[in-house]
Structure 1
Amino acid sequence: MSETSGISPADHRRRRSFRHALVAALATIGLAAAAATTAALPASASAPGVPSGWTQVFLDDFNGAAGSGVNTSDWQYDTGTSYPGGAANWGTGEVESMTSGTNNVALDGNGNLLITPRRDASGNWTSGRIETTRTDFQPPAGGKLRVEARIQMPNVTGDAAAGYWPAFWMLGAPYRGNYQNWPSVGELDIMENVNGLNKTWATMHCGTNPGGPCNETTGLGNSTACPNSTCQSGFHTYTMEWDRSVSPEAIRFSVDGVNYQTVTANQVDATTWANATNHGFFVILNVAMGGGFPAAFGGGPTGATEPGHPMVVDYVQVLQSSGGGGTTPPPSGNRDAYSPIQAESYDSQSGVSTETTTDTGGGQDMGWIANGDWALYKGVNFGSAPATQFYGRVASGAASGVSGLVQVRLDSPTSTPIGSFAVGNTGGWQSWQTVPANISSVTGTHDVYLTFSSGQPADFVNVNWFDFGH
């Protein structure tokens, strides 16, 4: 190329880097302008604080114009009556069809998300279900994860509430794209409610179904009344804290700071616990209508059930505390394969640079990545249970027709890749997506190389973080 253009490869790369930096700067200006617009809107409550010793890794406080949908960089819609190829009626017997329409899922302009069940003239129900695009939420080794939301349940009780089933919950990352491996991959129900009762349920699902070590389909759960005001008449904060700093490992559930359910690793066998927890999770918000849980408390919906009562969500926040892995500069000792490894924490690299990211959690990303570039991450510990999944947090503002592969290699930059995924333009150099890929089974501790391959010389991807799953 330099022979025909008169530009050396080094100059060409500097010019590409300048264009990339200019695009990123313009994108940042646009994001700042958008933030200034939304910040002027009133909110139902101030954004949650970050306690000392914790780091915020995700926040959506649902500021935005009334009637707009959710931010699809953070959330994706589940629609219809099942996942593709998954169990009918979402596997629970619920009767609604989920939509991405703002009639069912919308911001209210006051800093809240509304998920609203509707019934048409023929008696058909619709509602909303969204889940985070990220699937990597888990505590670092020796640390903690806190997932919380401030929510007012649908404000309806008695016969008018028959069939209502609002929920704030999490599923293990290996479920996404499989839809056949529940409950072994783990489910954490932070808040569930049925039929307008003044109760919140918290449950862990795991093991086999039916029965098994986790008593499926019931799971390992408990319930309590909401403190001070009913669950339906006011906002309450529902929290799951997953603690890997204690032995046995513990998962605690609370409402307004009152712990009412704890599940510990020694309640089930080691294999069941590992299968349910040795990977990331994604977060789900939804309001179902009908199904097995409401049926256990009187059933519904019926002709007396009133549509149009939303679950109101003020914010969803995810925090992490201490532990190893995912640090910058490179961590001392082994990295945890199942906690996010920050891309900029490489031990060595060729052809890449770092820059400030606008992705959730802030920090830096690794950018200016083109064909032939690579980065090395020493001492990644996969443990004894084989890793079979790779997740990369990537963004691309590449021109049309420019794409490439993100590859994972072990112990040498020239070894055969154990897995890869393709990436092209995602909408911008700071428009982030979490992309999964299957990999050959890996155990033990390895040096991990990310290598990048493209048929074009242009930059094609940024990487913010990556991790692995079972």
Structure 2
Amino acid sequence: MKTITKTISLLLLITFIFACENETSQNTVEENLGDIAVSDEIAQKAGPWTRQFTDNFDNTVSTSKWERTNRRDYNSNNCEYVSGNPRVTNFDNRSCLELSAYRYSNRYRSGHVKSRFSFKPNRNEQYRVSASIKLIAKQGSNYKGFAQTYGAWPAFWTVKEQNWPTGGEIDIMEGYSFGNSSHFASNLFYGTSTGQNLLETNAERRYPNSEGWHTYDLYWTNINGNVYLDILVDGNKVANYYNGIDSDLRLQNFGPHNVIFNLNVGSDTGIFDNSRINLFSRTYMYVDYVHVDKRSL
């Protein structure tokens, strides 16, 4: 009986070790696939990019492409978005979308646009979302760096707003200004019930950024049903996401998403001391272009 027990125990131990190794191998494969989602190997095997959505902001803010929002911000009762705020203007010898934030009475007004176009990669498809953005402020006729402001919170992101966050949210760029300093991050939100994010801050990935123009890219990749997200700034990868980063993350449930640009001010959750908000005369978010491309893998 002792021999049988030992034999059974040995078999169970071997089975457990094999299962753990198999699970580790699976996670490694998933992580490695995420690493190659924007690699030369994928590019060589993939089909050509085809443009799905684009705006170079050459004339006006197209109402057929964008919804200009009237609402309070999601995270700040201090910020009110008004539909007349987003406009197309010339800046740095470029025709750009301009969102401007400024004090109005005892609150702040700003701009928010949401694309009418929505997207999600099918099996063995990849989407690329790209935008060129500059953040800056102005006091009278003098320009100020974004980092010199306090309480500005611009963002470039994609989301399914209905029943948020059950369809996921991808923050490609969020900037936070603290007066002579700033930080930037990408992030994800997801949950199985409306209004409940299960990821907490586990998906936040901070990255360095400087003043001036920057190109931000999201690669949203579906390889044989496995979904990966890669965030690049000026061609350099700053974040890679796959289901293994959090036990509650289900990237396969993300989408379809719309594209959003907004310039929030302040916070209801203590990110900023709202009494210290300083936008100078105005703080601006300029977008030179946004493109959404798709290819088969």
Band of TM-score, shorter chain: 0.7 to 0.9
**RMSD over equivalenced CA pairs, Å:** 2.6
In 1, Cα distance between equivalents of 2:101 and 2:248: 40
- Is 1:113 paired with 2:94? no
In 2, Cα distance between equivalents of 1:271 and 1:288: 26
Judge conservation of contact 1:249–1:264 (CA < 8 Å) in 2: yes
> How many pairs are equivalent?
239
In 2, Cα distance between equivalents of 1:94 and 1:306: 20
Tell me the residue number matched to 1:313: 287
Pick closer, same or farther for the CA change 1:310–1:270 going to 2, 3 Å. Answer: closer
Selected match of 1:189 from 155, 171, 176: 171
Judge conservation of contact 1:290–1:301 (CA < 8 Å) in 2: no
Unaligned runs of 5+ in 1: 1-50, 82-88, 324-470
The offset of 1:271, in angstroms, is 8.2
In 2, Cα distance between equivalents of 1:269 and 1:219: 10
Pick closer, same or farther for the CA change 1:322–1:52 going to 2, 3 Å. Answer: closer
Indicate the structure whose relative CO is greater, using CA pairs within 8 Å and at least 6 residues apart: 2
- Is 1:56 paired with 2:51? yes
The offset of 1:114, in angstroms, is 0.7
In 2, Cα distance between equivalents of 1:250 and 1:304: 38
In structure 2, what residue type is equivalent to 1:184? T
The offset of 1:299, in angstroms, is 2.7
Tell me the residue number matched to 1:162: 150
Tell me the residue number matched to 1:206: 190
Selected match of 1:79 from 70, 73, 80: 70
In structure 1, what residue type is equivalent to 2:63? T
Selected match of 1:141 from 123, 134, 137: 123
Q: Identity over aligned residues, as a percent? A: 26
The offset of 1:200, in angstroms, is 2.3
Give the helix-richer structure, 1 or 2: 2
Pick closer, same or farther for the CA change 1:292–1:191 going to 2, 3 Å. Answer: farther
In 2, Cα distance between equivalents of 1:203 and 1:300: 23
In 1, Cα distance between equivalents of 2:122 and 2:226: 15
TM-score normalised per structure 2: 0.72
Tell me the residue number matched to 1:403: none
In structure 1, what residue type is equivalent to 2:220? W
Pick closer, same or farther for the CA change 1:94–1:148 going to 2, 3 Å. Answer: farther
The offset of 1:139, in angstroms, is 1.7
- Is 1:299 paired with 2:273? yes
- Is 1:70 paired with 2:70? no
In 1, Cα distance between equivalents of 2:292 and 2:79: 29
Pick closer, same or farther for the CA change 1:78–1:250 going to 2, 3 Å. Answer: same
- Is 1:99 paired with 2:69? no
User: Which deviations, in whole Å up to 9, do the C-alpha atoms of 1:288-333 show, x marking residues without a partner?
Assistant: 001157x33x43363644241210100011010115xxxxxxxxxx
In structure 2, what residue type is equivalent to 1:55? T
SS of the residue 1:73 aligns to:
coil
In 2, Cα distance between equivalents of 1:144 and 1:52: 10
TM-score normalised per structure 1: 0.47
Tell me the residue number matched to 2:159: 171
In 2, Cα distance between equivalents of 1:210 and 1:204: 13
Give the strand-richer structure, 1 or 2: 2
SS of the residue 2:170 aligns to:
strand
In 1, Cα distance between equivalents of 2:54 and 2:197: 36
In 2, Cα distance between equivalents of 1:159 and 1:256: 19
In 1, Cα distance between equivalents of 2:217 and 2:55: 15
In 2, Cα distance between equivalents of 1:126 and 1:309: 11
The offset of 1:63, in angstroms, is 0.6
In 2, Cα distance between equivalents of 1:260 and 1:128: 27
